[in-house]
Structure 1
Amino acid sequence: MKKLAVLDVGGSAIKYCTMCGTDIEGKGEVPTPDGESHDPEAFLETIEGILERMGDVEGLALSMPGEIDARQKYIRTGGALLYNYGVDVTEWERRFGVSIEVENDARCSAIAELSRGNLQGVDCGVVLAFGTGIGGGVIAGGKVLRGAHLFAGEASKVLTSWPENPRNPITSDQLWSSACSTKSLCERVARAKGIDGCDGRQLFGWLEDGDEVVAGVFRRVCDEIALQIHNIQCWLDPERICLGGGISQNPLFVEGVRDAHRRFNASFDNAFPEADIVACRFFNDANLIGAYEHFLAMEQSR
């Protein structure tokens, strides 16, 4: 079994480890270089520094945001990381001196849950990963669905409204990820409480203490998530939906979404099916595990 360097590149941090089979070792994280820069050098130097700490590895498995053609090893768009637009990953292979396989982060999460987690044996399922934004992964026919244009499950692009003037470009506040991500939830709570900011731990602490202001914002966000789950059901009719990201480790979040889903379905005159909504098994490790499994599958297929 090969020992691989595995990296999960996020908007604010790069998580890393080495993996060999089911063993995860040397876990750590470093800040992600400024995503608004178009110069990739700081990002590439950061990866080089991580690889130097790991010693001898036989490959590099990458989970990254953006529109990624895994077969062609090409990153079309890099999400919020502007320096990762139009990247030929084979150039990174030459620079780092190792074989590289790269896949979209939400698809990595879906791969992890399908191969080892809570989507095992599921023919049709969905992963929704909540963090800085919202990532989506779709399982159809027991396989990860990428779509004709690599856009299947692109939850970050789901709209919640249409511009009043159709000639105006779509803005970030019209995106679901700008309303219901973990980052957005915390921002909405902070605004409602009239404070500068908060984090997930504070948010759930207030919920547990019965803070009515926080409970109202939380319920509204769960309702908005339930609305999009309804839309997902209308298109895919998934057997199970796995909620991921660090926030999904708190049972209050998963139960809040379940409750909103039940209330939403109860508003229909005729019975509407309830999807099985559960937390992802691997939480923050899902992208790492999925990237590793993706590397092995791609290496075998090539």
Structure 2
Amino acid sequence: MTRLAVFDVGGTAIKYCAMEGTELQLQGEVPTPDTASLDREPFLATLERVIAELGPVEGVALSVPGVVDVDARYLHTGGALMYNYDADVTEWERRFGLPVEVENDARCSTMAELAVGNLSGVRNGVVLTFGTGIGGGAVVNGELFKGSHLYSGEASMMYFSTPRRDSELRDDGAWSTACSTTGMCRRLAEAKGIEGCNGRELFAWLEQGDEETARVFGEVCDDIATQIHNIQCWLDPERICLGGGISRNPLFVEGVRDAHRRFNAELNYAFPEAEIVTCRFFNEANLIGAYQHFLRMREKRGA
């Protein structure tokens, strides 16, 4: 059984563990070094220190934000991590003295579901994860689909309308702005005239029967259903897995299912109803997916 040091690199924290098979050992997290810095050394030093603390391992598996060429082991972009733009991961291998495999974080989540989760055995499926943004991944003919430019699954970049030129990051009209957990909470806060709220408060108000919360929640679910329809028109998935912390609450999944059924009922032609379920894995999905990706890539490389 292969024992690896596995990392899930986020914008605020780096989660880690030693992993062997399906067993996650010595789990922990450390703060992510200054994401605005162009100096990669603090990031690599942090990984190096954790690898040493995890004990003997046979390799390093990472889930990271950004556009990743897994075959070349090259990060074209690093998402919010400015020091990981144009990063040659083979240099990390030489530093650690261990084989290293890296994959995009949303695709790691999809890989976890495909390998040992709720997309196992599914020929065509989709993962959508809701948090600060909306991550995604597609499985086509039983394989993780990446597209020609490694942008498949960049759900946050999908739009409802053309963004205003004065909007921050041109994010006005983007799906993540409207329907991520952060976007949903922002919409509710604006509707209630309050400074802000979080997902726990939103669902507490929903469970208490608050009418304004129910109205905004319904609108968000309708918007999600619209984009699910668009995804269906291109990929025709048999199953869609919803992930992210918000998906732990059954009200969210039921809300999206109901909106999906309403959308289909309003069409004047027959359209398939996709199976909508939760992901099997939540906070540990990227770690599990990174491990599975490492195994697949080492087999592919004949290593």
Q: TM-score range by the shorter chain?
A: over 0.9
Give unmatched runs, 5+ long, in structure 2: none
Q: Deviations over 1:108-130 (max 9, x none)?
A: 11111111111111111000111
Q: Identify which range, 276-285 or 21-30, moves more after superposition.
A: 21-30
Q: Any idea what SS the aligned residue of 2:283 has?
A: helix
- Partner residue, 2:46: 46
What TM-score do the two structures reach when normalised by structure 1? Answer: 0.94
CA distance in 2, matches of 1:168, 1:243: 28
Q: Any idea what SS the aligned residue of 1:17 has?
A: strand
Post-superposition offset of 1:132: 1.7
Q: Deviations over 1:234-276 (max 9, x none)?
A: 0011000001111111111111111111111111011221100
Instruction: Give, as a single letter, the amino acid of the residue that structure 1 aligns with 2:113.
Output: E
Matches for 1:47-66 after TM superposition, within 5 Å: 47-66=47-66
Post-superposition offset of 1:135: 1.0
Post-superposition offset of 1:63: 0.7
Q: Identify which range, 49-58 or 214-223, moves more after superposition.
A: 49-58
Note if contact 1:11-1:132 (Cα within 8 Å) is conserved in structure 2: no
CA distance in 2, matches of 1:209, 1:288: 35
- Partner residue, 1:265: 264
Q: Any idea what SS the aligned residue of 1:184 has?
A: helix
Q: Deviations over 1:67-109 (max 9, x none)?
A: 1000110011112222211110111122222211001111111
Q: Quick one: structure 1 residues 33 and 177, their matched pair in 2 at CA, closer, same or farther if it must change by over 3 Å?
A: farther
Q: Any idea what SS the aligned residue of 1:192 has?
A: helix
CA distance in 1, matches of 2:168, 2:196: 29
- Partner residue, 1:239: 238
- Partner residue, 1:28: 28
- Partner residue, 1:98: 98
Instruction: Give, as a single letter, the amino acid of the residue that structure 2 aligns with 1:288.
Output: L
Note if contact 2:164-2:172 (Cα within 8 Å) is conserved in structure 1: no
Post-superposition offset of 1:35: 2.4
What value does the CA root-mean-square deviation take over the aligned residues?
Answer: 1.9
Q: Any idea what SS the aligned residue of 2:76 has?
A: strand
Q: Deviations over 1:152-204 (max 9, x none)?
A: 22212212211467x99970223212221122222222333333332222221
2:187 equivalent to 1:188: yes
Q: Deviations over 1:14-34 (max 9, x none)?
A: 221111011111222223233
2:163 equivalent to 1:172: no
Q: Any idea what SS the aligned residue of 1:178 has?
A: helix
Count of aligned positions: 301
Q: Quick one: structure 1 residues 47 and 190, their matched pair in 2 at CA, closer, same or farther if it must change by over 3 Å?
A: farther
Q: Quick one: structure 1 residues 202 and 31, their matched pair in 2 at CA, closer, same or farther if it must change by over 3 Å?
A: farther
Matches for 1:80-159 after TM superposition, within 5 Å: 80-159=80-159
CA distance in 2, matches of 1:164, 1:197: 24
CA distance in 1, matches of 2:57, 2:195: 44
CA distance in 2, matches of 1:41, 1:15: 18
- Partner residue, 2:251: 252
- Partner residue, 2:277: 278
CA distance in 2, matches of 1:287, 1:44: 19
Give unmatched runs, 5+ long, in structure 1: none
Note if contact 1:163-1:170 (Cα within 8 Å) is conserved in structure 2: no
Note if contact 2:131-2:246 (Cα within 8 Å) is conserved in structure 1: yes
What TM-score do the two structures reach when normalised by structure 2? Answer: 0.93
Note if contact 2:163-2:174 (Cα within 8 Å) is conserved in structure 1: no
Note if contact 2:76-2:87 (Cα within 8 Å) is conserved in structure 1: yes
